[in-house]
């Protein structure tokens, strides 16, 4: 049994209520770039976790930034599913690392912000999305969920919001 699992990754840039009186430029203090769709392709083995990671660029012109991830499941849960079949839902996990090329990071909780300190490359990635090496997004489909999944084409949306703090 094999099926396609595909995420569509969304990107939202938000101010998170940190607009300073007299300054409308807070949105320029944070950026997220080089975020791409996550595709697991056809999965034929259910014995191990399936993990996809990508390196991207997060720039924060302030000391720290917060990442808040929201999935397309009920109440923003991290789930993917088969269109038209509410019983066919697969939970996934999301991790974030504040350095590029990582395969593990801090576990994110759906809808809750997690604070990170940017690495020095963040300033460089504000100049060009070609320098996308300042953070890692790691998405995992746990084997325990895969072993009970129905065959089908699974899709979902993962939205990331970055805000200064």
Residue 143 is part of a domain; what is its CATH number?
A: 2.60.40
Looking at the structure of the chain, the number of domains it has is 1
What's the rounded Cα separation, in Å, for the pair 39 and 21? 42
What's the rounded Cα separation, in Å, for the pair 88 and 79? 10
| Among candidate residues 58, 129, 62, 40, the one with its CA nearest the CA of residue 100 | 58
CA count, 13 A, side-chain hemisphere, 62: 19
Structural domain containing residue 134 = 3-164
Span 111-133, average pLDDT: 69
- Would the pLDDT of 97 be above 70? yes
pLDDT tens profile 64-76? 888 899 988 899 9
Q: What is the bridge-based pairing of β-strands 135-141 and 93-97?
A: antiparallel
- Higher pLDDT pick, 8 / 125: 125
What's the rounded Cα separation, in Å, for the pair 110 and 40? 21
pLDDT tens profile 9-36? 332 222 222 222 334 455 556 777 777 8
Tell me which DSSP letter residue 124 carries: H
């Amino acid at each position: 049994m094999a099926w396609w699992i595909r995420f569509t990754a969304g990107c939202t840039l938000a101010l998170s209520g940190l607009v300073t009186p007299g300054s409308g430029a807070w949105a320029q203090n944070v950026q997220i770039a080089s975020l791409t769709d996550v595709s697991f392709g056809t999965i034929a083995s259910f014995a191990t976790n399936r993990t996809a990671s990508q390196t991207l660029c997060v720039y924060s012109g302030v000391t720290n930034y917060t990442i808040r991830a929201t999935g397309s499941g009920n109440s923003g849960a991290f789930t993917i599913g088969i269109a038209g079949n509410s019983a066919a839902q697969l939970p996934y996990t999301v991790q974030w690392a504040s350095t590029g090329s990582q395969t593990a990071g801090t576990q994110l909780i759906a809808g809750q912000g997690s604070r990170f300190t940017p690495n020095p490359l963040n300033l460089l990635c504000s100049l060009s999305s070609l320098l996308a090496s300042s953070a890692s997004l790691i998405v995992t489909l746990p084997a325990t969920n895969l072993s009970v999944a129905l065959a089908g084409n699974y899709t979902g949306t993962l939205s990331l919001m970055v805000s200064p703090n």
